[in-house]
Structure 1
């Protein structure tokens, strides 16, 4: 038997941007017991993993500096959720009972099995361990050895730019076009920066095979590649589907507009793994915080016996770093479509860095000190997320 305490117990699965903020925000109600379950003892700044991989920065923060008093960190992973018993079964063999569950397991990199050699030879940078491996192998690699980055989205641009700024020989294989999320002027700015810094941009072609020392493109062209980095596409953990919960085609938990599971009102989702009304928001650090806050508020409303509010999030655009001294702040509309306006150059890099710091200092740490203080931009219809690329900001 699992002992169930009298005070409401909320288990948060996943200690990323959404889960960590949700755990802190739940402390608005003093009698709630909050347990944050995460497979690592450190918080990973995923929006800095391209820096970690390139050797130009770090991406780990101790949870002791992020979690508010009373949040228990459990270093473990969930193998299965039993909604009927309100229990999470852990990889360690233990189990956690809950009154409410915040499902915030995030997203992962997706290397297609259909591309021969991709799973065997390509590196991902969507998670900490692959980024560490890539960093170690790059450090052992000659500076003039060719590197191929697969994926012309924001993640691919950032790692390609980070390496090109070091003087490495980089080719960026975009698939269709470079930076499809950005506006036309924004795309041209990024393309000019990459060209000026020696990176080769290949549009209208894709990688059909990855080898240990080369890639073969769909056009039949073969290119030498001492290291191949795969950034084309993201997936989500299969925990929800494995637990018998309703998901979309990618595996995101299906919820209503309050982020409550369509199967169980004791399970609330947040971040990249949530699909409200089957129309998920763009996978991004920008959306993760507000979704984590809304998930916490939904749980608190249900505990109080009140009706939860629906999500109402407006986007403002995206930030992309181009090495350590350049960047672009693309201005967008609340519905996540882009305007023709952007801020580039050194100022763009400063805004990008300020954005990264803001996510931790002014969202997560502020909620740790003063639960319930976070606000966000409202309004605008939500765009469907094709899950083709995760925004850098």
Structure 2
């Protein structure tokens, strides 16, 4: 039986880069009685939230909502637009880009994985010129889609999606653009229509501040047209039946009713605050956390300040120090959960999430736990990251940032 009393008194600090802490307002919405998902009240709810979710993706086109994880939305994006044996150009930015590439292989596609070599390639964003050069070589247009990750959760790097679109256009290539913004949506600026994205993939448990269990495909007209010719097997993931049912606010199968209550509440919270204010808030938190890392004398995983993630910060520990051991010490001593290093970054770094139900004091406490844990692990620090973050937040008050 699950022991739900494994945390000591006080609040557990969940500072992984998703699932993020869920605001009480959303939890209360989810606790409402479940209603008939074929009844009129549900249809009204469906139409309301389907309209509002488009504003978060910044699209006038449909957003398909699944009762699934982000991994399901990856699969939905591929199977709705591609056919067996299709060639797909995928860019390696980190662990999640790698997992998406493995999925493409398992589905019978032929992914070509490009990127900068080795671990250092996981410290940079997408190099759009590499995509342009590869597509320019594909005179027969054998490549049917380009797949990139917007905010790579394993590294803390946010890539320039508008630059990727410009690269595809400059190459004069008709490939679809598929983008994973599972951890970026509602925390980092994202523009499905303006950036010419054909399928945007996201999930509920990051910037949308919900528990896991809902995922999304925002789809362009070009993607919908491609879905009519795509021959990869699909049933549950098929867009056509969902889009048809959505016209009246329903789904062709049982949806996650209570999670949709929470989604509707989350959308209200985000839209009431204003998306530009939401993005500014996350940028400010990220800058405060990076000021702490700099004060410690440690490196941020992302090497390029132009693509620092507003969602999480990867902290690289000195050579010879096991980042996972540091993270375990912090968890055991201070009841603080941090993200582990994944794939090529395993043991080299830990990740601090700054999203969801969070504020300045949450992050100050988080940095205090990190600082104490690093010292307990014998890591020599140049100075106090907590003090640096306090000074940053004081010098950059929230109202001034927004």
Query: More helix by proportion, 1 or 2?
Result: 2
TM-score in terms of structure 2 length: 0.29
Higher relative contact order (CA 8 A, sep 6+): 2
Q: TM-score, normalised on structure 1?
A: 0.30
